[in-house]
Amino acid sequence: MQTRHASARAHPDPASAALLRAVLLGGALSLASWACAPGQAAPVQVAPVQAARSQPDPLAALAADSAFVLEDLRWLSSDELQGRAVGSEGSRLARTRLAQRFADAGLEALAPGYEHAFRFTRRNEAEERTGVNVVAVRPGTGRPGRVIVVSGHYDHVGVRDGEVYNGADDNASGAVGITALARALRGVPLRHTVVFAAFDAEESGLRGARAYVAEPPVPLDSVDVNLNLDMVARTAGVLWAGGASHTPTLRPILEDVASRSPVELRLGHDRPGAPEGDDWTGQSDHRAFHEAGIPFIYLGVEDHPDYHHPTDDFERVVPAEFMDALRAALLTLLALDQALPPSGR
Ligand SMILES: [Zn+2]
């Protein structure tokens, strides 16, 4: 979580836009038709999407997948990835795994390897850095031209004073969480096109999300809402949903989810003018969408003593709390898909 600003420019090429238009117009192209430029990441093999004979139950699929999801959380927040600082080897390992998970879920890539690189410069630094967002698309069936962006940043702060900051809650939980949602939805037709985005460089000032909004691989005016997951593991029984104060038509959708959620879902932390630190509207990647006038729902937990400490480790995650939070996130995505519009743009 961070609050600083910066300008970032991504450089999607024309072919991405062409592929995107095809996806949005419901014509998902297979990855094989994508020619790789020299030096770009090798394309990931995409599993063919099987036509669903009987509609699978995504909530049951998520529950059945819990051991796999937890192993991904353990690995993404392991010392091996050295805190996933932007530009690091750990960051590269993390996004390769996330891209493979998107491929395993049958999602389409808009760029080779699902990777969208962008350049940025940190405040008070001269050196230009490269971040890489991992972005995948799932075409909709009912309203394919309308888009829900499901996001969670995968970077963390790396190593400080010789200590690895593994960021299990912040935000290995959200990055792994969105891949778990994608997998649970395999074979489930949704009305909306869903873009899954694992943003990079959130800890450097929401840079990946700002790069996405500055050079959107999907037209921004086709996006109905951003559902952002940042710190969704350490709930202690309460998960917050922010955004309804800015978009009141989201409130009944969230209240309905809260009535069915296995974890207590509280609406709030989004009131402008609230006491310092109480309004989370600007505290994670959803801010970039909010500033572009796009409604958002932010799912996250209260700060805990391990937040941005080297003790934010997998061992401190209660597996049932994390899986319950993901179930609430999946219920939210399904409810949005069913309920939109009324606030559709
Ligand atoms: Zn975070």
Distance 21 CA to ligand 1 centre (A): 31
Tens-place pLDDT, residues 215-234: 999 999 999 999 999 999 99
The per-residue pLDDT for range 95-104, each reduced to its tens digit, is 999 999 999 9
Residue 9 lies in a domain: no
Q: Is residue 143 domain-resident?
A: yes
Q: How confident is the model at residue 18 (pLDDT cuts 50, 70, 90)?
A: low
> With contact defined as beta carbons under 8 Å apart, do 336 and 253 qualify?
yes
How far apart are the CA of 91 and the centre of ligand 1, in A? 15
Confidence check: pLDDT of 345 > 70? no
| 321-340: pLDDT as tens digits | 999 999 999 999 999 999 98
Amino acid at 235: T
Residue type (1 letter), 222: S
When pLDDT is averaged across residues 149-176 and rounded to a whole number, the result is: 98
Distance between Cα 312 and ligand 1 center (Å): 12
CB 198 within 8 A of CB 119: no
Mode of pairing for the β-strands spanning 115-121 and 128-138: antiparallel
Q: What residues sit around ligand 1, an ion, with C-beta below 5 angstroms?
A: 1, 170-171, 230
Compute the distance from residue 343 Cα to the ligand 1 centre, in Å: 27
Share of the chain above pLDDT 70, in %: 83
CA of 285 to the centre of ligand 1 (A): 8
Residue 3 lies in a domain: no
Residue 55 has pLDDT above 60, yes or no: yes
At 67, list the tokens. Answer: 């051991």
In a domain, 157, yes or no: yes
CATH number (domain holding residue 106) = 3.40.630.10
| Residue 40 lies inside a defined structural domain of this protein | no
Number of domains in the chain: 1
Residue 6 belongs to a domain: no
Instruction: Look at residue 183 in the predicted model and tell me its pLDDT.
Output: 98
Give the C-alpha separation, 98 to 176, whole Å: 8
Domain that holds residue 230: 14-25+56-121+128-339
**Could you give the C-alpha distances from 46 to 30, 178, 199, 298, in angstroms and in order?**
8, 17, 21, 29
How remote is the CA of residue 220 from the centroid of ligand 1, in Å? 23
Average pLDDT over residues 290-319: 98
Does residue 46 sit within a domain? no
Contacts (Cβ under 8 Å, ≥6 apart) of 122? 6, 129, 204, 205
pLDDT band at 15 (very low <50, low <70, confident <90, very high): low
The alpha carbon of 300 and the centre of ligand 1 are apart by a number of angstroms equal to: 9
Gap from CA of 108 to ligand 1 centroid (Å): 26
Q: Got the DSSP string for 9-64?
A: EE---HHHHHHHHHHHTT-PPPGGG-PPPTTSPPPPPPPPPPPPSS---HHHHHHH
pLDDT bin (cut points 50, 70, 90) of residue 148 is very high
339 phi/psi in degrees, rounded to 5: -85, -30
CB-based contacts of 233: which residues, under 8 Å, 6+ apart?
73, 168, 169, 172, 173, 301, 317, 321, 322, 325
CA–centroid distance, 277 to ligand 1, in Å, is 15
Residue 342 has pLDDT above 80, yes or no: no
Ligand 1 centroid distance, CA of 282 (Å): 12
For residue 217 the two structure tokens come to: 């691989």
H and E: helices and strands count for the chain: 9, 12
Q: If you compute the radius of gyration of the chain from its CA atoms, what whole number of angstroms results? A: 18
Confidence of residue 14 (pLDDT cuts 50, 70, 90): low
Q: Which long-range contacts (CB under 8 A, 24 or more apart) does 30-38 make?
A: 31/108, 31/109, 34/109, 34/112, 36/112, 37/112
CA of 171 to the centre of ligand 1 (A): 5
Q: Is residue 199 part of a domain?
A: yes
Helix spans in the chain (H): 14-24, 58-64, 66-76, 89-104, 173-184, 207-214, 251-260, 286-291, 319-339
Distance between Cα 306 and ligand 1 center (Å): 13
Tell me the pLDDT of the chain averaged across its residues: 88
Q: Place 53 in a pLDDT band, splitting at 50, 70 and 90.
A: low
Helix 173-184 × helix 89-104 angle, to 10°: 20
Q: Which pTM does this prediction carry?
A: 0.86
